[in-house]
Structure 1
Amino acid sequence: MQETSLADPVLMLAGLLLLATSSAILLKRIRFPYTIGLVIIGMILASLAQYSNQLELLHRVELSHDLIMYVLLPVLIFGAALHIKIPHMFREMKTVMTLAVPGVVLSMLIIGYLLNVLTPLTLAGAMLFGALISATDPVAVIALFKEVGAPDRMLMLMDVESLFNDATAIVVFGIVLSVVQSGSGFTGWMLLEGIGSFIEVFFGGILVGGVLGLSMCWLLKLGRGSPFVQIANSTILAYGSFIIADHIFGFSGVMSTIAAGLVIRSSIGELLSNQVRQLIEPYWDFIVFIANSLVFLLLGFKESLLIKSPERLLDAFPWLLIAIVVVLLARFLVVYLLLPASDVFLRGREVDMKVKAIIFWGGLRGVVPVALMVSIPSDMEYQNLIIDMTLAVILFSLLVQGTTVNWLMCRLRVNQKYHIVRAAMKKLGG
């Protein structure tokens, strides 16, 4: 029998999915967040792989930039966009855009300046780290907040903010990296070029996604009598909108996929028959579950790099601790300074103190910083320290913030489950 190079990867994929589904059952029984549990399981598995020949295949698993950007992220972004209630999104646009654009830039500047002062990082390296770590990650945030039963408005705010500021962070990181690689330093002219580049990349992505979404609407109308054709076309749009915008035009793939998803979402009643509407939501829930499972397992494999070299971890520990505190401080200042300022100067719905607390503490980091981290040139000074800082901040946000955000929502009495239980108790008492 002729051997094929695809056998091992397919077997490994099946094994990872079996591990994910088995873990889902266990984690549900012990009432532990599924996504965070997978990170821990991934770390344990990667550590065991060092001592087991049976787990040798895991050494070949790599959470690479292309795997995240071109395989996993498009379906996760598109699936999230399909669930966005567009009128609600526009009502929250003031808050979302405040956090997503000036919030990311302010966070990058705070982190960059403080880490340049407090750690060995150069200003260029500190700003680069600030750019890649400033955005909350849509994969981690959306998955967790659905699990813990966040209120509808809070879920909307966190969903849309994490999607938009993820796009901003990717664009800003690219601009900062190009400045660092040019070696010309930051000048006034460079700032103007950066603003122009940001507008082009950000809104260019929206344009590409909008055009592709409208084009797909035409195809979906033609395939109205073929449910599986329509569902397949939605998948094609998810990947096509991201890769065409990012890889071909150099625009924001995230914004393109969001725009394409929102176009389909706004026209879904006209385009899809009742049969397809009943099928498409479970289909995308399934695709997102698979992608989420792989993302968090592989993120656990990547996080295991922190503990594989105890000596390196011990040497870098003070800088890692400083990075965690500085990232939290930057998020705190963005939420508690920018949002009140936007309430004064911009019209829109105000965000109360309880919601601000959840937005601050629930700002998790996930796989997108990893994708940006691995794209840093290997010859850049302090590359290893930036990698270690990124992994440390992600691990803290998932294991500490992620496991306590539900407790915080209960303490603040903003958890849906809290209100359901309270209403049931009132009913019984009345």
Structure 2
Amino acid sequence: MHAASLAIPVLILSGLLLIATSSAILLKRLRFPYTIGLVVIGMVLGIAAQYADQLELALKVDLSHDLIMYVLLPILIFDAAINIKPPSLFREMGVILNLAVIGVVLSMLVVGALLNWLTPLSLASAMLFGALISATDPVAVIALFKEVGAPERLSMLMDSESLFNDASAIVIFGIVLAVVQSGSGVSAGVLLEGIGAFIKVFFGGILVGSAMGVAMRWLMKLSKGVPFAQIAFTTILAYGSFIIADHVLGVSGVMSTIAAGIITRSSSSTVLSEEVRGFLRPYWELLSFIVNSLIFLLLGLKENLLFRNFDYLLTNYHFFLVAIFAVLAGRLAAVYLLLPASNRLAFCRSVDGKSMAVMFWGGLRGVVPVALMLLIPDTLPDKELIIDLTLVVILFSLLIQGTTVNWLMKKLNVCQQYHIRRAAMKKLGA
């Protein structure tokens, strides 16, 4: 009985990975972004499964909050963190925190105000939607910018912002949800409480991840002659730093894993053998590929929920258009109000207008909003509409913004100028 119950999930997982790997070959030949192509394939698979009994098993796997947060996300966050160059990160920290903290709050307010005005959502529900949808998603952004070959600094800004504002959005969503559930309303006391909670959760996560990173560094140093033990320790650190911070201590799992990953990268030259350093990147790239494949296929299956009632879609299409407009307006405000302001500060490196345009349009939404929307209690009257609005915005973000951001970079000559500069630098170096 136990063997049979375990065999089916493993078979489904193997089938999904087979579809994803085969799709990767086809999508590469078509020159279509792999992750976005998987969303489309997932949607087609979901539609086909309704009419073919053989595919019905695919619908048994669902993107739950715990699956996203505790199984899939730690791998992607840690992989991104160990690929961040700490000196570059600290140089850009002013710009990143400006967008990742103030930008998320500003976007939430813009989105919430517009949806409260133009849709049936109450102010509390509109702000809740604004909180969960305002952060650019690291899973979607990092995967896409790798595929399109974005310039190094632009990739660094987008990758780091998406990681940090992911943590911000999760914390802010939790605060807004607590206010909504308490029914206490917004007051000066509530705002101060919220700021205190944000500082505790955000920076508490950094402390937890740093402590675990230092402890794991000691273990990796002890196991220097055992390569596979060192690789295993990095995997344990990725999951341990996230779950202990988020689930056990109630602080930011994302910030904890980012801190642990950065410490691992910083100490890799002293505690990891040359053999392990050579194997570490391919190992994490493989894990990242597997997790990305599952996330975007399952996201496509989740998006299929939108198309099960066409009458409902036709009746409410104007609310969906408002949500897309509001989210774009929120991102526009965050990029074009905050970046010009940070450009005036001495400790912030300037961001040019072309990069701003790419950062605005390349701010994709992905799997993290799905995890957050699944936390909304059934007692909230607007839950169904919030879920539908979230799925519509994600779909627009991936299928429209995701497929045109490469065109935009080419139109602005962003990549071309980057490659010219690199070629010139290499020539001077020679």
TM-score range (shorter-chain normalised) is over 0.9
Structure 2 counterparts to residues 16-415 of structure 1, below 5 A: 16-345=16-345, 347-415=347-415
> Contact (CA 8 Å) 1:413, 1:419: kept in 2 or not?
no
In the alignment, structure 1 segments of 5+ residues that lack a partner are none
Instruction: Give the partner amino acid of 2:8.
Output: D
Aligned mates of 1:416, 1:280 — CA distance in 2: 31
Aligned mates of 1:135, 1:346 — CA distance in 2: 26
- 1:350 CA displacement: 0.4
Aligned mates of 2:239, 2:415 — CA distance in 1: 34
Instruction: Give the partner amino acid of 1:273.
Output: S
Most deviating of 152-161 and 53-62: 53-62
Secondary structure of 2:97's counterpart equals: helix
Aligned mates of 2:19, 2:420 — CA distance in 1: 33
Aligned mates of 1:312, 1:233 — CA distance in 2: 49
Secondary structure of 2:186's counterpart equals: coil
Aligned mates of 2:418, 2:266 — CA distance in 1: 32
Aligned mates of 1:317, 1:146 — CA distance in 2: 33
Instruction: Give the partner amino acid of 2:204.
Output: G
Aligned mates of 1:225, 1:309 — CA distance in 2: 59
TM-score normalised per structure 2: 0.97
- 1:381 CA displacement: 1.3
Aligned mates of 2:93, 2:2 — CA distance in 1: 57
> Contact (CA 8 Å) 1:116, 1:126: kept in 2 or not?
yes
Aligned mates of 1:420, 1:230 — CA distance in 2: 39
Aligned mates of 2:290, 2:204 — CA distance in 1: 30
Aligned mates of 2:232, 2:417 — CA distance in 1: 36
Alignment deviations for residues 231-251 of structure 1 (CA, whole Å, 9 cap, x no partner): 000000000000000000000
Instruction: Give the partner amino acid of 1:138.
Output: P
Asked if 1:11 is matched to 2:11, the reply is yes
Aligned mates of 2:155, 2:237 — CA distance in 1: 25
Instruction: Give the partner amino acid of 1:194.
Output: G
- 1:2 CA displacement: 8.0
- 1:4 CA displacement: 2.1
Aligned mates of 2:6, 2:311 — CA distance in 1: 37
The 1:37–1:2 alpha-carbon spacing in structure 2 relative to 1, beyond 3 Å, is closer
Aligned mates of 2:4, 2:222 — CA distance in 1: 39
Secondary structure of 1:32's counterpart equals: coil
- 1:333 CA displacement: 1.0
Secondary structure of 2:225's counterpart equals: coil
Aligned mates of 1:17, 1:420 — CA distance in 2: 38
The 1:336–1:219 alpha-carbon spacing in structure 2 relative to 1, beyond 3 Å, is same
Instruction: Give the partner amino acid of 2:335.
Output: V
> Contact (CA 8 Å) 2:220, 2:233: kept in 1 or not?
yes
Secondary structure of 2:53's counterpart equals: coil
- 1:204 CA displacement: 0.3
Secondary structure of 1:224's counterpart equals: coil
- 1:341 CA displacement: 1.3
Alignment deviations for residues 139-159 of structure 1 (CA, whole Å, 9 cap, x no partner): 000000000000000000001
> Contact (CA 8 Å) 1:410, 1:418: kept in 2 or not?
no
Instruction: Give the partner amino acid of 1:394.
Output: I
Aligned mates of 2:136, 2:416 — CA distance in 1: 22
Secondary structure of 1:304's counterpart equals: helix
Instruction: Give the partner amino acid of 2:320.
Output: L
Alignment deviations for residues 56-115 of structure 1 (CA, whole Å, 9 cap, x no partner): 112211100000000000010000000001101111111101000000001001111111
> Contact (CA 8 Å) 2:82, 2:265: kept in 1 or not?
yes
Secondary structure of 2:381's counterpart equals: coil
Aligned mates of 1:56, 1:391 — CA distance in 2: 22
Alignment deviations for residues 182-222 of structure 1 (CA, whole Å, 9 cap, x no partner): 01111110000000000000000000000000000000001
Most deviating of 340-349 and 228-237: 340-349
> Contact (CA 8 Å) 2:59, 2:301: kept in 1 or not?
no
Instruction: Give the partner amino acid of 1:131.
Output: A
- 1:347 CA displacement: 2.4
Aligned mates of 1:279, 1:11 — CA distance in 2: 29
Alignment deviations for residues 122-149 of structure 1 (CA, whole Å, 9 cap, x no partner): 0000000000000000000000000000
Instruction: Give the partner amino acid of 1:222.
Output: L
- 1:308 CA displacement: 1.3
Instruction: Give the partner amino acid of 1:77.
Output: I
Aligned mates of 1:4, 1:348 — CA distance in 2: 57
Aligned mates of 1:179, 1:18 — CA distance in 2: 44
Aligned mates of 1:347, 1:421 — CA distance in 2: 24
